[in-house]
Amino acid sequence: MSLAQKFTGVFGFPITPFKKDLSLDLDGLAKNVDEMTKFPFCAIVAAGGTGEIYSMSVAENIEVVKRSVEATAGRMPVVAGVGYNTPMGVEMAKGMEKAGAQALLIMPPYYTNAPFEGLVSYYSTISAATGLEVSLYSRDWAAFSADQVARLAEKIPNLTFWKDGQGDARKYQRIMGAVGDRLCWIGGIGDDCVSAYFAVGVQSYTSSISSVAPKLSLAMAEAGMKRDFATLDQLVKKYVHPLYALRDRMKGYEVSVMKTFMELMGKPAGPVRPPLVDTKPSEEADIRKLVELYKDWA
**All structural domains of the chain:** 4-226 (3.20.20.70)
Taking the complete model, does pTM exceed 0.85, yes or no? yes
In this predicted structure, the answer to whether residue 43 has a pLDDT above a threshold of 90 is yes
Give the pLDDT mean for 114-139. 98
For the chain, the helix, strand and coil percentages under 3-state DSSP, each to the nearest 5: 50, 15, 30
Give the pLDDT mean for 226-240. 98
Q: pLDDT tens for residues 16-37?
A: 999 999 999 999 999 999 999 9
- Where does the pLDDT of residue 4 fall: very low under 50, low under 70, confident under 90, or very high at 90 and above? very high
Give, as one character, the DSSP assignment of residue 210.
G
Q: pLDDT tens for residues 69-98?
A: 999 999 999 999 999 999 999 999 999 999
- 192-212 burial, b if ≥16 CB within 10 A, otherwise e? bbbbbbbebebbbbbbbbbbb
Give the pLDDT mean for 53-82. 98
Residue 55 zone, left/alpha/beta (φ > 0; ψ -120 to 50; rest):
alpha
Give the pLDDT mean for 58-63. 98
Give, as one character, the DSSP assignment of residue 9.
E
In this prediction, residue 1 carries a pLDDT of 86
Q: pLDDT tens for residues 149-158?
A: 999 999 999 9
